[in-house]
Amino acid sequence: MDRQKIALVTGGMGGLGEAICQRMFKSGYRVVATCSPENQQAQLWQKSQKDAGFEFRVYKVDVAEYASCEAGVRMMLDDMGHIDVLVNNAGITRDSTLRKMSAENWRIVLRTNLDSLFNMTQPVLDNMVRSEWGRIINISSVNAQKGAAGQTNYAATKAGIHGFTKALALELARKGITVNTISPGYLRTRMVMKVPPDILNNKIIPEIPVGRLGEPAEVAGLVDYLASNAAAFITGANIAINGGQHMS
């Protein structure tokens, strides 16, 4: 493909999402990020990124709602013509023990973290199939593999992501499209840094054999590789990047 590739990153304004957007831009992609319709910081974020040397387009899309995703993707395709790489990165947490978890907090996590894969992926598939080239990269979590107390909703969605990945990889393997999962461990993002320091320093980091949090840029580098032509023989994989915290 001689044309400049376009990478779409859901939740692109978050810690990991931002790192992925920056890495893909540096690798020559035109980068599109989504944010929630309620986000009032999109223009300010775009400007701050442009001041730092990065240029991104931002679309407000509710990844939990199919109609919003369908309309958003249609607008992107009208504006840019094609989408070559989709990174399903958007996700939320609503933590509590199952005994105390509200039905709403169960549903919203499933809709945002898992339904969003269907909502965002289906609308881009015809375009990728026509191009006979595409990369779909789904961001899961170490807690899908090892479990985490207080995260039955989150762990269920993140485990479901890889089932989605494997089935879709089989459907698309002969069409030039790969589908893979990345399962990061604990990263130095705003979300993780909100964890109380005593829990972070005395419970989480001691469980990581390399002795530190991961950096979002390290995960972004793996996304960049899986999106490349060099990774064309990798599909249906779940690649852990967790500092040795969980090995399978």
C-alpha 20/C-alpha 56 separation (Å) is: 12
Q: In one letter, which amino acid is 61?
A: V
Cα 53 to Cα 155: distance, rounded to the nearest angstrom: 36
Residue 239 CB: number of other CB atoms within 10 A? Answer: 16
Q: Are 185 and 219 in contact (CB under 8 A)?
A: no
The C-alpha atoms of residue 9 and residue 54 are separated, in whole angstroms, by: 14
Q: What is the C-alpha to C-alpha distance for residues 59 and 129, in angstroms, rounded to an integer?
A: 23
Asked if 56 and 7 touch (Cβ cutoff 8 Å), the reply is no
Residue in the structure block whose two tokens are 């859901």: 10
Tokens of 90: 């958007």
CA distance 205 to 212: 6
Would residue 154 show up in a list of annotated catalytic residues for this protein? yes
Choose the catalytic residue: 29, 59, 66, 154: 154
Three state DSSP letters for 139-155: ECCHHHHHCCCCCHHHH
Could you give the residue numbers annotated as active site?
Answer: 154
